[in-house]
Structure 1
Amino acid sequence: MTSTAPAPAVDRAPSGIVSPSSLAPTGRSLWRRARWYLLAVAFLLLGAVVVAGLSQEHRYPPLDPRSYDQDGAHAVIALLEQRGVTTSLTTDATGRPTGADTLVIPEPDLLSAAELRAVAAARHTRLVLVAPGPAALSALAPGIRPADEHPASSYASVRSTAPQCSLAEATRAGSAHLGGQLYTSGSRGEGCYPHNHGFSLVSTRTQGGDVIVLGSGDLLQNQLLAKDGNASLALGLLGSQPHLTWHLPDYGSPIAENTHRKNPTDYIPAGWRWATLQLAIAAALAALWRGRRLGPVISENLPVVVRAAETTEGRARLYHRAKARGRAAQALRRATAHRLAPALGVPLRAGAADPDALCAAVADRLAARPAADVRALLYGPDPTDDAALLRLADDLDALERQVRKP
């Protein structure tokens, strides 16, 4: 009675495990490649969160008396209050004054026609307008016009300028930072701080009181108030009355939306432009650094090991599919001649044996087989069908066995 031994168990790799010779990326290799990129993305996200948190602080528009920024006007309000001037903020320009006061309108062009008429009828003791347009000048400062006679010189850059006029506040302050829109003084007004063909400060007298027109409000900003005579001129223009009312523009009004229509680029903070430039330079430097580095020579594992028999079978299938019987026959004959030549002592020249010498040597080894039959077998015509190709392969194999074992 015979017993059959159990077949040895064959270890099969689990379907999810990659063989050592595979080139499939592993989790460890993926982590090594991606960790620096993930770290960079984490830093960018952290920076975005910090910037978003810092941008939550309230930003005031320029010349806002509540703003401590460089373009704000809180410093001049603080100086006026130190000198006993009471200040108040309002968003209603049509309210009538409670007494002798000064009204400052930093954006007169944002007022509607009805609001301009109401301000003109309110009869403020002093009215200060910052860069008004033609409509505001016609309603609040008759006789004063923009210096449009010379369009190239109707606007001047803000710089330290001498007053060159007899206005008491200007002569007491001396040089100040004036510029911006330029105006003509008219017959009843007096122009100060001249630039080319216009003035950056014009004062005039109306039925309601004094009107001061400034081409630019930069001298009232926190960053310029301490330079030259800016503080003295600001206190003289705004502090002549015991009470000051500062109008806060309504930037949500239809006039403001039409006047200050923003482009998509206006919503991009200025700091992000510099950050984008720095990132572009860093990317270019990284590309140059990585582009010049070839790196060390590394060895790679073959994806799969293919046996020689499979390669031969694969080539045979290609020949069969293309019906290349002649190419297949030439390959078989060439391989047989290349193996027979060293066995018979026939030298190889340029990788091939001389046909006549090889056929003569085979005929000498096999006395029963003439040289003509050997030449027909090794160098004869191509087979015409698959059966003839198979017979040729068998005949070549038999010839090689006979030569090696006659």
Structure 2
Amino acid sequence: MTATTAAPTSTSATPRHLWTRTRGLLLALVVLIAGGIALAALHSDSQHGSLDPRSADQYGSRAVAQLLKGQGVSTRVVTTLDEATAAAGPDTTLLITVPDLLTESQQRRLRAAADSGGRTVLIAPGSASLDVLAPGVRAERPALVEPREPGCAQGAALRAGRADTGGIRYAARDENSGGCYPAGGLPTLLTVPAEAQGDTVLLGAPDILFNHRLDEEGNASLALQLLGTRHHLVWYLPSLDDASATDGGRRSFFDLIPSGWRWATLQLALAAGLAAVWRARRLGPLVTEHLPVAIRASEATEGRARLYRKANARDRAAAHLRAAARSRLAPLLGVAASAAHSPDVLVPAVSARLPAAGHDPLSLLFGPTPANDTALVRLADELDALEREVRTS
């Protein structure tokens, strides 16, 4: 017996069908890759990241480092906890860019180093780091970053005036803590004095340190006064590659995920929802499709009738019945096909052919929608009877 190859049917996937289905995804992928390449090209001259004093990018902090250098303040960039704690001292300002990225053991070591009498500046610390690095301070819901008045009597804030502040707001139990630039009644810049000497400054948002915002409002003055009170500035950029991050026991899965994963998950969920809406089946105009097998007309008619009945679409069923009857009656009555659906032409022709008939041609051929299924069946029978009478007359 020889093997036979099945003929392709309309349901078989052809290269044209595959291209039609996947071209949207391929186009989106190409746009995504092109956007990534463009962004990489735009930032190819930037060797460092955000809040890095070596970066000339708009979100870098090279400008403030250069201004501090002009005032005699040396800036040293460190990326490990050992370097940061070793450089801390009474004549040093320790700036921690991402305190929430640190583990609890790292935070405790930094807290011990901060007690040496210097200044510690925390950029946007949240609940994950305040309990250790700034005990007695609670983080509240963030506020929009915008120009704000000092709203306090501290000399640094008064000399700087309006500045682009906001972000996380803070509430302190210590009455000696000085809060400035309030938003909604809570400060976005908080200075917490140490038990001995030195202090800890909490800055709700890093915007005053960015290169592209340093020349706006009093941002430069405020940044220089916060970071230039000591002769040395240690700029600590926490890194996930720091070996000290594994000290103090095992970390949970969520501790290993970089900050912002919740926002990324929300974005992915939104993208998946939009893709589902885009690819979902939608109601639209009917299209013809070549069936793989021959189907009898009676079966197709019965199938369509069942669909109409399921949808309770008596109006469409009646309209199709009447339209088909008018199309068949028109050539029998000598009416042009273009006028077959005009009551002013077709009804007089029917009345002239059957003057004594008991039918009302206008109501039968152009009447209202049947009120129920029984009336719909009666309409179909009356249309058939009318057509038979016209053929035999």
TM-score, normalising length: structure 1: 0.50
Structure 1 position 30 matched with structure 2 position 14: yes
Q: If you compute each CA radius of gyration, which structure gives the higher value, 1 or 2?
A: 1
Name structure 2 gaps, 5 residues minimum.
Answer: 296-393
Matched, 1:86 2:86: no
Distance (Å, rounded) in 2 between the aligned partners of 1:196 and 1:251 = 35
Change (3 A) 1:275 1:69: farther
The answer for the alignment partner of 1:133 in structure 2 is 130
Q: CA deviation at 1:292?
A: 1.7
Distance 2:203 2:261 in 1: 30
Aligned pair 1:288/2:256, yes or no? no
AA aligned to 1:171 is: L
| Structure 1 residue 95: Cα displacement | 0.8
Structure 1 residue 103: Cα displacement:
1.6
Letter in 1 for 2:137: P
Deviations 1:54-76 (A, max 9, x none): 89899977644456666554443
**3-state SS of 1:228 partner:** coil
8 A Cα contact 2:152 2:181, kept in partner: yes
**Take 1:219 and 1:73, find their aligned partners in 2: how far apart are those partners?**
9
- Is the 1:251–1:257 Cα contact (8 Å) retained in structure 2? no
Distance 1:155 1:45, change over 3 A: closer
C-alpha distance in structure 1 between counterparts of 2:270 and 2:178, whole Å = 45
| Cross-structure match for 1:113 | 108
- Residue 41 and residue 212 in structure 1: after superposition, are their counterparts in 2 closer, same or farther (change >3 A)? closer
> What does the per-residue CA deviation read over 1:240-261, in whole Å, with 9 as the maximum and x for residues that have no partner?
3343211122446258955846
1:235 to 192, 210, 224: 224
> How many angstroms apart in 1 are the aligned matches of 2:213 and 2:190?
20
SS in 2 for 1:186: coil
SS at match of 2:190: strand
The alpha-carbon distance between structure 1 residues 267 and 158, as it changes in their structure 2 partners (threshold 3 A), is: closer
1:219 and 2:219 correspond: no
Deviation at 1:32, TM superposition (A): 4.0
After superposition, the C-alpha distances for 1:29-77 in whole angstroms (9 at most, x for unaligned) are 9344434346556546645765777898999776444566665544433
Once the two structures are TM-superposed, the CA of residue 236 in structure 1 deviates from its matched residue by 1.8
Matched position secondary structure for 1:104: strand
Does structure 1 residue 172 correspond to structure 2 residue 163? no
Decide whether the 8 Å contact of 1:87 with 1:245 is kept in 2.
Answer: yes
Counterpart secondary structure, 1:249: coil
Q: Which position in structure 2 is the counterpart of 1:104? A: 95
User: CA contact under 8 A between 1:220 and 1:230: conserved in structure 2?
Assistant: yes
SS in 2 for 1:95: helix
- Aligned amino acid, residue 104 of structure 1: L
Give the alignment of 1:375-390 within 5 angstroms: none
Q: CA 1:214–1:29 in 2, change beyond 3 Å: closer, same or farther?
A: closer
Shift of 1:233: 0.9
Q: Deviations over 1:350-373 (max 9, x none)?
A: xxxxxxxxxxxxxxxxxxxxxxxx
Looking at structure 2, the residues matched to 225 and 269 of structure 1 have their Cα atoms a distance apart, in angstroms, of 32
Q: Does 1:146 align with 2:137?
A: yes
Q: Report how far residue 147 of structure 1 moved.
A: 5.1
Q: Which residue of 1 aligns with 2:191?
A: 203
Q: Compared with structure 1, are the counterparts of its residues 275 and 215 closer, same or farther at alpha carbon in structure 2 (3 Å cutoff)?
A: closer
The separation in 2 between residues aligned to 1:89 and 1:213, in whole angstroms, is: 20
Q: 2:149 — aligned with what?
A: 162
The 1-side partners of 2:179 and 2:93 are apart by 20
| Pair 1:282–1:188, CA change in 2 (3 A) | closer
The answer to whether residue 236 in structure 2 is matched with residue 247 in structure 1 is yes
CA distance in 1, matches of 2:263, 2:185: 37
The letter of the residue matching 2:288 is G
Q: CA 1:276–1:23 in 2, change beyond 3 Å: closer, same or farther?
A: same
Alpha-carbon distance, 1:146 to partner: 1.7
Q: Structure 1 281/106 Cα, relative in aligned 2: closer, same or farther at 3 Å?
A: same
Cα separation, partners in 2 of 1:198 and 1:113, compared to 1, 3 Å:
same
What secondary structure does 1:288 align onto? coil
Q: Which amino acid aligns with 1:173?
A: A
The residue aligned with 2:379 is none
Task: Using the TM superposition, give the Cα deviation of residue 133 of structure 1 relative to its aligned residue in structure 2, in angstroms.
Answer: 0.9
Q: Secondary structure at the match of 1:171?
A: helix
CA distance in 2, matches of 1:51, 1:196: 39
Q: Where does 1:356-367 land on structure 2 (aligned, <5 Å)?
A: none
Structure 1 position 273, deviation (Å): 5.5
Distance 1:276 1:129 in 2: 36
